Amino acid sequence: MNKKTGRGIRLKDFLREELQHPEVKKHYLAAKAEWLAARAVMKARMAANLTQAELARKVHTSQQAISRIEAGEQNTSVAILRKIGHALGMELHIDYKPKSLRFRHA
């Protein structure tokens, strides 16, 4: 916590500092794709104005499974992501981008 302001450190500042450590950087990069997929599912579901339970019914799975996907707690296959996209009336797009450690807010 910053003693002058009484506020915590900003996430991008924290990441900039922590990602200087090779072991932290390795784990961060390994998990990045999973949390990007989790965030994409959550944003798409919310854009469709569906609850997790409603999406689960459309995908023929449980609300708990959708919750795990959105929390990044489940290794989600491309087939499941495609099925979720179909249920939401959306297409799944996957692309490659140059490596970057810059943290971007949605």
| Per-residue confidence band for 3, with pLDDT thresholds at 50, 70 and 90 | low
pLDDT (tens digit per residue) in 43-83? 999 999 999 999 999 999 999 999 999 999 988 999 999 99
Distance CA 87, CA 58 (A): 6
In the chain, how many domains are there? Answer: 1
Q: Establish if 71 belongs to a structural domain.
A: yes
Q: What is the pLDDT of residue 102?
A: 61
Q: Establish if 16 belongs to a structural domain.
A: no
Q: Establish if 74 belongs to a structural domain.
A: yes
Which of residues 7 and 50 earns the better pLDDT score?
Answer: 50
Predicted TM-score (pTM) above 0.85: no
Q: Establish if 4 belongs to a structural domain.
A: no
81: domain range?
A: 33-92
Q: Establish if 67 belongs to a structural domain.
A: yes
CATH at 37: 1.10.260.40
Q: Establish if 86 belongs to a structural domain.
A: yes
- Asked if 15 and 55 touch (Cβ cutoff 8 Å), the reply is no
Q: What is the pLDDT of residue 32?
A: 85
Q: Which of 62, 65, 68, 70 is nearest to 45 (CA)?
A: 70
pLDDT (tens digit per residue) in 90-101? 999 988 888 765
Distances (CA, A) of 34 to 12, 20, 50, 57: 19, 21, 22, 23
